[in-house]
Chains A and B, each alone.
Chain A
Amino acid sequence: MIDKKYLELINKDIDKIISADEKKALLKFLGENPDAGNLYNELTKTGQMLNHLPDREPSPDLQSRILMSIDHNRYSPKNNPLAVFGDFISALKTKWAFSFSFGLAAGIVLLAVILSVTSLVRTSIEKDIYGTIGITSAEVLRSFSSDSPDNFFKIDLLKVRASDDDNHFAFNVDITPPEEYILELNYNPENVIFENLSSVKFEKINLESTSGKIRIFPSATSRFSVMIALKNTGEEIGINLLKGEKSVLDRKVSLK
């Protein structure tokens, strides 16, 4: 049995925080106690092995998957009216800021008028995408819904402006009760990339190189979004919503 004091010195030595005096005392002890010497060697080697374990690299798309799973609007000033109001009040503390704020307020009123006029001529509706980020705007292209006593679902197909490119779409799905449904999307795997599937249980079936199917089991959540990025616009995607074995919605939509 090795004295606790020397066990601590061995560990301090492995952790490289041993002082010169302590090291001297340890070496003297190890020289006089061969069993302790063996233990020292084994523990040191264990430490060295841990130090040299190689690292693995994550998948190249991990970073984008992380960013896709964050709600980027969480800290957006528009979601925090109190903060905006607070900033406004503090801005009023100086004369210059007052003039600036007055100009800003006038600008906002003007912008509001322009926006309200614009909304009169727009037929599309802007929507949020459940659980995604970096979305600057999204407009509904098609809607499929049923609120019959047997089936309650709403699927919106949205055109999404997520980044610089123009080829992002999303399906906003609202289903009750979710565990009874399976959503099948038929697509061309060569041109279609699914992006934020981490929030739902799903399986992918590639039937041929140009024909794939993804089956989504929305058992955990009644509202979710499926983001799609296209290599080329004009792709066609088949939507098949199954309740048990029965198809309650079977459509093809063109993504343009």
Chain B
Amino acid sequence: MNNENDDQYLVQECLNGKGKSFEIIVNRYYKTVFRLADKFVHDFDDAEEITQSVFVKAYENLRNYNSKYKFFSWLYRITVNESINYKRKRNKTIVIDANMPSLEPDAGSSYEKNELSSKIKDALMELDMIYRAPLVLKHFMGYSYKELSYLLDVPEKTVKSRLYTGRQLLKDILLRNRVL
């Protein structure tokens, strides 16, 4: 299928000097890459920086892309690596603004929803990246064990073990924080 819907065609076009093709790829995937990075690092600015860096790395290494795999899987694999490396490089202190205005009473249910989401995200952040990554990829992207094995560059058996342990650890954190 030689058209713009086919990522591999766009990659080839890009390698042939048609820069516009990569713009289509960026347009197609930047939101998903951002959301994935956001789930990994739970920080808006960091997630945007990671997203930017993912596409720069992908573009620079386009010749190394193996067409045996889906292009977006390769992109998500870079996202995983960038998120892991980013967090290693930057142990950021999160400052919570105590003077932040409270929400209006009629926004109660939305507030509760946001608070619950925030608690789940905080719990995820407590997990080591080796457990967080498979959980995020499984629950947000719906990947199979085999696909996770490629994305995380570990055998399927390890994927399963990390997924199960991660889920158990997350459950314990949620119980401890009275979220469950």
Residues on A facing B (Cβ under 8 Å): 7-8, 11, 14-15, 17, 42-43, 45-47, 49-51, 53-59, 62-63, 65-67, 69-77, 80, 133-134, 198
Contact = CB atoms under 8 A, between A and B. Distances in A.
A62 B52 contact: yes
Contact of B38 (A47, A56, A74): A56
Interface stretch (B55-63, B73-81, B88-96): B55-63
A70 B19 CA distance: 10
B39 A70 contact: no
A66 B60 CA distance: 13
Contacts of B34: 56, 58, 62
B16 A42 contact: no
Contacts of B135: 50
Interface in B36-88: 38-39, 44, 47-49, 51-52, 55-56, 59-60, 62
Contact of B59 (A45, A51, A62, A70): A70
Contacts of B31: 57-58
A57 to B, nearest CB: 7
Interface residues of B, number: 49
Contacts of A7: 164
B154 interface: no
A55 B36 CA distance: 9
B176 interface: no
B167 A47 contact: yes
Nearest to B37: A58
Nearest to B170: A46
Contacts of B39: 53
Contacts of B179: 49
Nearest to B63: A75
Contacts of B144: 17
Given A53-B39, A58-B34, A75-B15, A70 B171 contact: no
Given A58-B31, A66-B51, A76-B19, 13 more contacts: A7-B164, A11-B160, A47-B139, A50-B139, A50-B170, A56-B34, A58-B51, A62-B51, A66-B52, A67-B23, A70-B59, A73-B19, A75-B14
Contacts of A74: 59-60
A58 B30 contact: yes
B164 A8 contact: yes
B167 A46 contact: yes
A49 B26 contact: no
Contacts of A42: 171, 175, 180
A70 B27 CA distance: 14
Given A58-B51, A76-B17, A70 B22 contact: yes
27 contacts: A7-B164, A11-B160, A11-B163, A11-B164, A14-B167, A42-B171, A43-B167, A47-B139, A50-B120, A50-B170, A53-B117, A53-B139, A55-B38, A56-B34, A56-B35, A58-B31, A58-B47, A62-B48, A62-B51, A66-B55, A66-B56, A70-B56, A72-B22, A74-B60, A75-B17, A75-B62, A198-B49
